Structure 1
Amino acid sequence: MRAYIILFACVRIVECYKNGLISSACGSMAPNHGSSAQTSAAPYSVTVDKTSYSAGDAVTVTLSAKSGTFLGFLLEARLIGGSTPFGSFSSAGTGAQLLPCSGQPSAAVSHSSPTPKSQIQSIWKAPTSGNLNNIQFSATFVQAYSSFWVGVKSAQVTYSTGNGTTAMNGISSAGCGITKTCVSQPSNCDPFTNSNCYFMSAMPLSDGSGFNFEIFGPSNGYIAIAFSDDQQMGNDDIYICGKNSQGNIQLQHAFSTGTTTPTTIRMGNVTNFNASFTNGVISCSFTSRNSISTTRSSASTNSYYIFLANGPVDQNGVIQIHPNTPIISSAKIDLYSPQVLGGEQYPAIVKAHGCLMLISWMTTGSVGMLIARYLKKTTRGTRCCGKDFWFVAHMLLMLLSVAATIIAFILVFSYAQDWAGGAHPVLGCMVMILSLVQPTAAMFRCSPQHERRFIFNWAHAINALAIKALAVAAIFTGLILVDPSQDGWLPKVMGGFVAWEALFFLFLDIHQKWTEKDVDGDDYGQIRPEVLIMLAFFLGNVAFLVTLLVGIGNV
């Protein structure tokens, strides 16, 4: 008799949820079926008709079977990182019913019968006041009694304040310098209102046992923070928020030993992880009670340089090399002393490299080439140090260009200590090699009267043209790498300079051909037009150069 009673109770448990009155499961969203949820990819989806919402808005939520059907379901809206239903549903849809949860009426939607379903469409309504923030719809699908999936999520729906701004996982610059330390690029940007802001914050826990960290920035792969004893990569403690193989944002703890892929280590004591990926922006927050470990530290310290990097991931969710130099705090930061620092994406040594290359191939090199091409006849008879003036000026300017190129080359390689990859370093190395070939070949040139002197003249001119073209290409690729603006104004300024220089070369060529027959009859006591044209070119050249130097100084 006891066996029949037990059997009857089990049957009752099986039957009790067929009507969908499952308010007791609102918290865990797991059915009481005596088995675990499936871990494979769910054959169901949760989609929404909006990417953002404001107070009082309605959002249509659709539950769909990719294949087959489902018998039962439970649908809720939750704040990102929340564990209770948020808002209420105004319409359940056919074959569904509104369900009270956690004392809130209509806080969830569930099935009203166990008939097979392929799609359910419900309408959720946002609260008109209270703690409004980004949300996500989460659903449980029951395919059969022992086959069900829990926590199938929709895309995140961001909260819009109504004035055009959205909340990205609740991360903002509020409290920076007061309760938390912040590093951002551009300086003092607010991730709450600026989706192009790269931002991190660290707020000490009240008991001093760790920190609440926030990371935010545009990226389609990952964004990471690192703590270092210096401004170079290697021996750094790293936290990475990035996409896994399913496209969901995960948190990883890693340690770098150089410029190679960091080694993933145990997560340790990390809790309260929340993350989102919305409109190409990754944001995540978490609490870490791990000690920060850098092997270069000789003593216990809470002061570190902070790196903020972003880059792609492969199809397996493994992070790849970041295409741009990480944003680096301009000074060491004591994480227990809240302060605000701007991120310095490029250290002074890298900026010096760029400035020297601009000076070399925008000014000294360009002017030296113009003098050799157009002022030979203009300065005929004018001597300096026993040589024609044009030759002395040309030689000094080109030697300055080569010397600056060598120094720039040494600076950037001493900083990187590795091959960065991409077109820019390849172009730079080609410029360096050809720049050394040019003066070396000139040292062994034959006399101007030699019958084969034309070979040197042509080779010298062609090599100079190749250096100029490669240097311009290297500058363009370098400016594209460092330009933080959305409109890419630094490469545009460089494009303006190239057009300016080409215009003057063309104008001087035309002028030279036009006056070629009358050169012998010119009055050399007057200022020739070529000199005035060169002066105008030099002034415009300096204007473009200063603009780019200021731009590099501000990145």
Structure 2
Amino acid sequence: MLPRKRSSSLIFFTILFLIKSSEQYSSGAPPGACIDQTPKHSTIQAQSSPPPYMITTSASQVRQGDVINVTVGSQFRAPTPIEGFILQAREVQSPDTIVGTFVKIPDPELTQVVTCRGPNDTATHTTPEDKPPQTFQWRAPTDFLGGIAFKATIAQTYAQFWKNVESPVVEVVTPDTLITTSATIAAPPRATQGPPTIMQPTPKTTPAPLDVIYQGCADTKLCFGTPPNCVQSGNCKAIVAVFVAGDTYTFEIQGTGNPKYVAAGLSKDNKMGDDSAMECVRNDNGRISLFTSWTYPKSEPYVRRSDSPQDIVQLLESSTIDGKLYCKFRRDAISTVMGQSFDLTTNMYNLMVVAGDSMKDADRVGFHSLAYESTGVPVALSTVGAPPAASKLLLKLHGSFMIAAWLGAASLGIVLARYFRQTWVGKQLGGKDIWFAYHRILMVTTWLLTMVGFILILIEVGGWSSNDNNPHSTTGIITVVLCFIQPIGAYFRPHPGTSKRPYFNWLHWLVGNAAQILGIVSIFLAVYLPKAELPPWTVYVLAAFVAFHVIMHVVLSLTACLAAARESGRVEDFPLKDLGRAHSAVERSADAPFGAFRKHVLGVYAPIILLIVVIMICLVALAPIGTNNFMGA
């Protein structure tokens, strides 16, 4: 019989051995760890400190079906030993999806390849012995395009392990893509004397990989986004992509700026209405849902889901990352919505993509406040590339004409009529006093530009359109009505000296100024319309115009008061005094006092106003400029 003390020691070490062999999974990660990559080490938690390990790849791009090298190693010059690990390639947009296969392992006595969700999709250890850096060969899938990252949990000891050790993103591209970027395989680190030194990361010169939705837009799928030309640069506010394989139609839609929804529509024209729409919606609880809906032209409700079958689409993936809302789904090749057949295999459609930051109610999306665009012509969904957007020529002409009318012509015309009646006395143009001749020319120009601009926008939108979130159309139509009636009243004005002349003067002044104020307000509101695509700082240009315009009015008003005081000895006159008189002006043979000063002020006012008008028209014509940063009424 063994002594009691020796027997107890033997039992203790036997228990320790059994515990080690039963919990460390020395032959590899257990099956339950392959999904969440969490070791089943009792209640031991992963380390929260930065991991001493890194994962590197031999290339940042790989063609479908090709092989690259993947190395699991240490970040230190003195290698940190690896006792155990589990390594997988996962989709960037859908981190729970494991892709590709490992086709070669460095040492069968130390590592192995196992099956988690697909054949040979996971690499792990076979023994708890310390291991040097391990390099595997991984084959890219042939049925996937987009970004992947190699993700691992790595254990230094039984009680020390780090989760979510990731490689840089690797882009899986088509077989005919020219590979232009690569990364060097990490060489096994050499041991050095002294404490380990952390290696400084080398600055990367390769651009950040595009979101998965942009990958393949040039050669495998149809992509359309807003603003124009954003697909090539990968910075669309909203984008829809269609990938066709046989009779399977896979859609992807994505919106940026933390949208409440992003949607795509199939239309027979480039106008909203009578369209089959597909909505990717972020609910208040954070869940993402996919719906189909039908849009109505110019009548409530503009969008209604109950009129569209919901089983014609099947959601495949969804995410909301860094303010980007993303949905990937399939749509039936042939479906019927509101009695209309949508045959994606034979028919061509205008693609629409929109995004908004609000909902009207639980069953309807709100106004497309973040993005709106439509293709210029119908396209076959099997087309590859990025089709052009609908022309915005009429929209840009409308904005340019209104700016020229109300910031330029109207402002100068009103200033001449208000402050220069007693300037250039005795000089005429076309048989009329100079101030009146130019006032009439400028106001007729305002009228013509406004009417033409109004007709252009009616043609562009196909009729009356309103926006619950922006009253631009309401203030605009009031401006047009006031502008239209102004010359009619001027044509029938009473002659100077008659008793009704003062009433006309006041009415003419009131309608003209109201029209200009509303016109400027409408231009301010237009800056916030998604269709305008104007940079947010446009409001500062408009604010500068208003401030300068007001300052010049104050200066000219004070000048008029001083002129009246010099003539009458009193300072109680004001520039609008003539409105209440039967005669529109006092007869005189010379200019009123300070005439030269008024001319100098006009010489400053007119060029600066014209400069601001030119700047604003350029912003409209060249939009979108510096923008950064469908539904619905």
Pick the TM interval, shorter chain. Answer: 0.5 to 0.7
Residue 441 of structure 2 corresponds to 396
| Structure 1 stretches lacking a partner, 5+ long | 1-18, 30-48, 58-75, 87-99, 109-121, 134-160
Residue 288 of structure 1 corresponds to 331
Residue 499 of structure 1 corresponds to 547
Residue 427 of structure 2 corresponds to 382
Match of 1:278 among 298, 312, 321: 321
Residue 547 of structure 1 corresponds to 615
Residue 375 of structure 2 corresponds to 329
Tell me the CA shift for residue 27 of structure 1.
8.5
State the secondary structure of the residue aligned to 2:350.
strand
Tell me the CA shift for residue 385 of structure 1.
4.6
1:171 corresponds to 2:228: no
Match of 1:184 among 211, 225, 249: 225
Residue 466 of structure 2 corresponds to 419
* CA distance in 2: counterparts of 1:296 and 1:500, whole angstroms: 58
Residue 92 of structure 1 corresponds to none
TM-score of the two chains, using structure 1 as the length reference: 0.66
State the secondary structure of the residue aligned to 1:218.
coil
The 1:325–1:443 alpha-carbon spacing in structure 2 relative to 1, beyond 3 Å, is farther
* CA distance in 2: counterparts of 1:165 and 1:399, whole angstroms: 55
- For these two proteins, the number of residue pairs brought into alignment is 441
1:233 corresponds to 2:233: no
The 1:333–1:327 alpha-carbon spacing in structure 2 relative to 1, beyond 3 Å, is same
* CA distance in 2: counterparts of 1:164 and 1:505, whole angstroms: 56
Q: Looking at CA atoms only, which structure, 1 or 2, has the larger radius of gyration?
A: 2
1:438 corresponds to 2:486: yes
**Residues 444-523 of structure 1 correspond to what in structure 2 (within 5 A)?**
444-451=492-499, 453-482=501-530, 488-515=536-563, 517=566
Q: Assess if the C-alpha contact under 8 Å between 1:431 and 1:470 holds in 2.
A: yes
The 1:486–1:77 alpha-carbon spacing in structure 2 relative to 1, beyond 3 Å, is farther
Match of 1:316 among 347, 362, 367: 362
The 1:193–1:397 alpha-carbon spacing in structure 2 relative to 1, beyond 3 Å, is closer
Q: 1:134-172: per-residue Cα shift (whole Å, max 9, x none)? A: xxxxxxxxxxxxxxxxxxxxxxxxxxx989987786333
State the secondary structure of the residue aligned to 1:326.
strand
**Residues 59-208 of structure 1 correspond to what in structure 2 (within 5 A)?**
80-81=93-94, 102=116, 124-128=163-167, 170-172=212-214, 174-189=215-230, 194=235, 197-205=237-245, 207-208=246-247
The 1:270–1:429 alpha-carbon spacing in structure 2 relative to 1, beyond 3 Å, is closer
The 1:126–1:330 alpha-carbon spacing in structure 2 relative to 1, beyond 3 Å, is farther
State the secondary structure of the residue aligned to 1:223.
strand
The 1:330–1:245 alpha-carbon spacing in structure 2 relative to 1, beyond 3 Å, is same
The 1:245–1:200 alpha-carbon spacing in structure 2 relative to 1, beyond 3 Å, is same
Match of 1:252 among 291, 296, 299: 291
Residue 364 of structure 1 corresponds to 409
Q: Percent identity?
A: 20
Q: Assess if the C-alpha contact under 8 Å between 1:354 and 1:552 holds in 2.
A: yes
Q: Once superposed, what is the RMSD of the aligned Cα atoms?
A: 4.5
Match of 1:537 among 585, 598, 605: 605
* CA distance in 2: counterparts of 1:408 and 1:549, whole angstroms: 13
The code of the aligned residue for 1:285 comes to: K
The code of the aligned residue for 1:179 comes to: T
* CA distance in 2: counterparts of 1:521 and 1:444, whole angstroms: 29
Q: Assess if the C-alpha contact under 8 Å between 2:354 and 2:368 holds in 1.
A: yes
* CA distance in 1: counterparts of 2:413 and 2:387, whole angstroms: 42
Q: 1:272-312: per-residue Cα shift (whole Å, max 9, x none)? A: 62111234321222333424779599998543322111122
The 1:178–1:186 alpha-carbon spacing in structure 2 relative to 1, beyond 3 Å, is same
Q: Assess if the C-alpha contact under 8 Å between 1:223 and 1:309 holds in 2.
A: yes
* CA distance in 1: counterparts of 2:274 and 2:291, whole angstroms: 16
* CA distance in 2: counterparts of 1:432 and 1:486, whole angstroms: 23
The code of the aligned residue for 1:263 comes to: R
State the secondary structure of the residue aligned to 1:472.
helix
Residue 307 of structure 1 corresponds to 352
Match of 2:282 among 225, 236, 243: 243
Tell me the CA shift for residue 437 of structure 1.
4.1
Which stretch of the first structure deviates more once superposed, 357-366 or 393-402? 393-402
Which stretch of the first structure deviates more once superposed, 267-276 or 223-232? 267-276
* CA distance in 1: counterparts of 2:557 and 2:249, whole angstroms: 69
**Residues 207-218 of structure 1 correspond to what in structure 2 (within 5 A)?**
207-218=246-257
The 1:485–1:433 alpha-carbon spacing in structure 2 relative to 1, beyond 3 Å, is closer
